[in-house]
Amino acid sequence: MAWNVIWQECEPGNTSGAGHVPLNGKAFSRGTCTAPLMRVQATRLRGVASGAAAVRHLRAHARVSSSRPGIAIDRLDAFMGSSTDDTVAAEETAAPDWRTLEPMELTPILSASLDAFYETGFHGTSVREIARRVGVTVPALYYHHENKEGLLIALLELSTSDVLWRSDAADADGGTDPVQRLSNVIEAIVLRMTMRARLAALEGEARYLSPENRQRYRAVRKGIEQIVRQIVEEGTESGAFDVEDSAETTRALLGMCQSIPRWYHSEGTLSPQEVAKKYVKIALKMVGASPRT
């Protein structure tokens, strides 16, 4: 996968422009712009509508460099199969709260695709219908995305990377306590499943991906599973949990969370926070633990 940087550095009086360079390149190309924006995005994630959203995507797979402001890309190889050894210099921003879900920033094309896929499914949606919703021609749509599957994988990667970084941040926020760590991660997953239910529901369409794209999608999903399984295993070893099969318990925990978009509606009686609280209690009972007070 070819990861690119769109780097825009702004000063008063500059005109619109941008520099492009591969992440595994040796130097940045500088451009100018009219607004203070630095964008980092993948060629397969052109639907990211803002630099902040793109940076959040990369932070799902990378660690913040402690030696200088920037994002040290040292985990993308494991998740995306690309070679990215260099550091992408970026202005340091405060890490977002994993409990806070702001509106997802999508391009008009991906926004229309999400609505269409949600309403009629991947196979029931035509590229012509998406173009009609956006108000562009089919060739114009193909300029931004290779095909209909390209739209689906772009949305799925946004979805899975979103829940991955939230799970990772929630886990870290729990310190060394397995009970708190599991509580945080389940809460993070459920909040995302309820507050971004349409995007989460789209993951059921992953069965229509080509083998190559399905493998990439599963690699990121595996990262989420590994976070939960590690917590379960460490909690069992410490005596905090009573679990016989950590792998199956992990699948059961994630399975119950993934089913939420099938029944949850924002106009229902339960708020996302209330659903999360209930599911945390259920999760802790599944591993034989009690919630922290």
pLDDT digits (tens, 9 = 90+) for 118-160: 999 999 999 999 999 999 999 999 988 989 999 999 999 888 8
Cα dihedral sign, 194-200-202-206: negative
Give 166's Cβ-side CA count (13 Å radius): 25
How much is the average pLDDT of 240-244?
96
Top pLDDT among 239 and 66 is at 239
Top pLDDT among 2 and 56 is at 56
Pair 153, 217: CB distance under 8 Å: yes
Q: Is the pTM of this model over 0.95?
A: no
Pair 168, 96: CB distance under 8 Å: no
For the chain, give every domain's residue range: 3-88, 153-286
Tokens 């007070």 locate to 293
Please write the tens of the pLDDT for every residue from 170-180. 999 999 999 99
Tokens 């000063």 locate to 11
Which of 74-88, 215-229, 237-251 has the lowest average pLDDT?
74-88
Q: End-to-end distance of the chain based on CA atoms, in angstroms?
A: 45
The mean pLDDT value of the chain amounts to 73
* pLDDT tier at 76, thresholds 50, 70, 90: very low
Fold of 153-286: Tetracycline Repressor; domain 2 (1.10.357)
Please write the tens of the pLDDT for every residue from 1-18. 333 333 233 333 333 333
Tokens 């899975």 locate to 160
